[in-house]
Amino acid sequence: MRGVGALVTRDDGAVLLVRRAQPPYQDHWSLPGGQIQLGESPQVACAREVKEETGLVVEIGESLGVIKLAGGNGDTWDIEDFRAVITNSSPTEPVAGDDASEVGWFLLSELDGLSTTPMLAEYLNRWGVS
C-alpha cells in the first residue's frame, strides 16, 4: 500500500503531529498523512491529508524519501514523506479532523513521553529537526 506524510515545522522547531484515531497505530502520534487515492499524485494526496486531519492548507515541498511501516493486517505501507509549509491562506491553528483524534505542535525533546509511530524521532533527526 502507498501512503504519504507531511513534515510541517514552525519557526521554533516544533513539528505538527496528529494522534491517530484509527488502526493501525491508533492512539499513536505521527506526521499527518494517509493513503494515496486512485488518480492522485503523492503531493496532492499529502496536501489533502494535512487539510483533512488538521484543517491547515499547506504547500508541498521536497520529498524526504520513502519509509516502510507495518500495517494492521500483515501488510506493508510505503510512506513517502514530504516537507510542507503552511500557506498564507491557511487557518492559523490546527484542528483535529478526519481520522485524527488530536493535533498539536511538539519539539523533538517532547517526544520521549509520547506513544509515536515507529522510528518517528529517528526520522525527524535525520531530516534535521532539532
In the chain, which stretches have pLDDT less than 50? none
Domains in the chain with CATH codes: 2-111 (3.90.79.10)
Please name which of 117, 112, 83, 105 lies closest in space to residue 15, comparing C-alpha atoms. 105
Q: What is the pLDDT of residue 97?
A: 93
The x, y and z cell numbers of residue 119, run together, are 522510528
Long-range pairs, 77-80, Cβ under 8 A, ≥24:
77/1, 77/2, 77/3, 78/1, 78/2, 78/3, 79/2, 79/3, 79/4, 79/5, 79/33, 80/2, 80/3, 80/4, 80/5, 80/42, 80/46
Residue 19: what pLDDT?
98
pLDDT of the residue at 17: 98
